[in-house]
Structure 1
Amino acid sequence: MFTGIVEDLGTVESLTRGADFAALAVSSDVVVTDRTLLGESIAVNGVCLTVTSIHGTTFTADVMHETLRRSSLGSLCRGSHVNVERAMPADSRFSGHIVSGHIDGTGDVQSIVRDGIATVYTIGAPRNLMRFIAEKGSIAVEGISLTVTFADERSFGVSIIPHTSEHTVLPERKVGDLVNLEIDPIARYVDRLLSMPQADTDEHSEPTSVSAPTLTRNFLLDHGF
C-alpha cells in the first residue's frame, strides 16, 4: 500500500520490450538505498511494481502486458522522469490517502491554468471512472495523492501547489498527455456493496449470529454518508 506522497523524481534508464511485457530500469538515489530489497514494492507513476534487481541506485521491474495496456508506462523512454514511492511502512505517518498502486485507467490533460500560486489541471476521464470521482474527494494522478476541486460527467480538476509542482512529474505534462488514474478504493468498495444484493442463507452457508442491515442509498444517507 502507498500514500500518494511522492518521494522522488526517478529517471528511466531503459525500457526494454518483450513480446507481451517490458523490463523497466529506474534510477533514484532517494528510493534505492542499501535498505532496498529484492521483491519489495515501489510505485512508478502510481503503478505498483516489484523490484527484480538492484544495481547501485537503479532498480529494475517487470511490467506485464495488462499494466502496459491500462497505464501510461508504455510511453516512457530513456531519460523520462517518473514519480517514485516506496510502500508505506506500518509505523509511518499516513500523509496522503489509501493508494494501492493498481491503476484503474488513464485520463487526458484537457487544460492547465494558473490560479494564483497554484496550477489547476483539468483531466478528462472515462464515465466508468468519473462515477467514482467526487468534489473534495481523493484521486491519485500519476501516483500523486490529490484533492478533487470539481467534477462533472466527463472531467475533474485538481489544484497543484508549488511544492507538488517542484517535486513531481506534473509540470512535464502538457495538454493532451495521458496520466495514470487510481480512484479512491473506498468508493470502489461502496459501489460493489450497493450493486451486489445480499446473498440468501442456504444449507451451505455458515450460520451467523448477527444479521447485517442491507446497504442501500437511503441507509447511507440516514447515517451521514
Structure 2
Amino acid sequence: MFTGIVQGTAILINLVEKEDFRTHVMAMTGRLTQNLVVGASVAHNGCCLTVTNIRGNKVSFDLMEETLRLTNLGDLQVGDSVNIERAARFGDEIGGHAMSGHIMCTTDVVSVLESDNNYRIWFGLPKGYEKYVFEKGYIGIDGISLTVGEIENGCFCVNLIPETLERTVIGQRMIGSRINIEIDPQTQAIVDTVERVMAQNTALKS
C-alpha cells in the first residue's frame, strides 16, 4: 500500500530492453534506499514495481509489457526522472490517501496555468472513469495524492503548492504530457456499489 506522499525523485540511468519487458536502472539516493532490499515494493509515478537488484545507489526494476503499455513508464528515456514512494509500513502517518500502486488509466495535460501565488494543471477526464472523479475528491496523479479542484468541459484540475512542485516531477509536465491516474479506491467502491444497487432495484420494478 502507498499513501500518495512522494518521498523524492529518481533518475533513470540505464534501460535494458528484453523480450516483452525491460529493466529500468534507477539512481536512488538518501532515504529512498534506506533499508531497501530485493523484493521490496516501490512506486514509480504511482506504479508499484518490485526491486530486482541493488548495487550501491543503482536499483533495478523489471517492467512487463502490460505495464509499459498502460502507464507512462513506457515513455521514459535515460535521463528522465520519476516520482518515488516507498511502500507504507504499519504505524506510518497517512498524509495523503490509501493507494494501491495499480495504475487504472492515463490521461493528458491540457493546460498549465501559473501565477505568482498559484499553479494549476488541467487534465482530460479519462474516458470511462468520469463517474469516479468528483470536485474535492481524492485522485492519484503520477503517484501524488491530490485533491480535485474543479471539473468542467470534460476536464478536471488540481492546484499545486510549492512543496509538491519541488518534491515531485509534476512541475515538469507540459501540455500533451501523459500522466498516470489512480482513482481513489474508496470512491470507486462506493460508486460501483450504488450503481449495482440501483440496477437491481430497477430490475425488480420492471
TM-score, normalised on structure 1? Answer: 0.84
Question: The residue matched to 2:108 in structure 1 has which SS?
Answer: strand
Q: How does 1:184-195 map to 2 (within 5 A)?
A: 184-195=184-195
Task: Give distance in 1, aligned partners of 2:94 and 2:137.
Answer: 16
Task: Give distance in 1, aligned partners of 2:67 and 2:144.
Answer: 18
What amino acid sits opposite 1:16 in the alignment?
A: V
Q: Aligned residue for 1:93?
A: 93
Task: Give distance in 2, aligned partners of 1:26 and 1:60.
Answer: 6
Q: CA deviation at 1:173?
A: 0.9
Moved more, 121-130 or 156-165: 121-130
What amino acid sits opposite 2:143 in the alignment?
A: G
Q: Residues 79-113 of structure 1, C-alpha deviation per residue, up to 9 Å, x if partnerless?
A: 10110000001111110001111001111000000
Task: Give distance in 2, aligned partners of 1:32 and 1:42.
Answer: 10
Instruction: Report the aligned-residue RMSD.
Output: 1.7
Cα pair 2:131 2:191 within 8 Å, conserved: no
Q: Aligned residue for 1:211?
A: none
1:31 aligns with 2:32: yes
Q: How does 1:36-75 map to 2 (within 5 A)?
A: 36-75=36-75
Q: Aligned residue for 2:183?
A: 183
Task: Give distance in 1, aligned partners of 2:125 and 2:19.
Answer: 29
Q: Aligned residue for 2:12?
A: 12
**Structure 1: which 5+ residue stretches go unaligned?**
197-214, 218-225
TM-score, normalised on structure 2? Answer: 0.91
Q: How does 1:75-224 map to 2 (within 5 A)?
A: 75-152=75-152, 154-196=154-196, 215-216=197-198
Task: Give distance in 1, aligned partners of 2:12 and 2:172.
Answer: 14
Question: The residue matched to 1:17 in structure 2 has which SS?
Answer: strand
Task: Give distance in 1, aligned partners of 2:16 and 2:194.
Answer: 42
What amino acid sits opposite 1:32 in the alignment?
A: T
Q: CA deviation at 1:154?
A: 2.1
Task: Give distance in 1, aligned partners of 2:182 and 2:115.
Answer: 25
Question: The residue matched to 1:26 in structure 2 has which SS?
Answer: strand
Q: CA deviation at 1:31?
A: 0.8
The number of aligned residues is 199
Structure that is richer in helix per residue:
2
> Percent identity over the alignment?
37
**Structure 2: which 5+ residue stretches go unaligned?**
200-206
Q: CA deviation at 1:57?
A: 1.3
Q: Residues 24-72 of structure 1, C-alpha deviation per residue, up to 9 Å, x if partnerless?
A: 1111113113x10111100001100011111111211111111111100
Cα pair 1:127 1:154 within 8 Å, conserved: no
Q: CA deviation at 1:184?
A: 0.3
Question: The residue matched to 1:140 in structure 2 has which SS?
Answer: strand
Give 1 or 2 for the bigger CA radius of gyration. Answer: 1
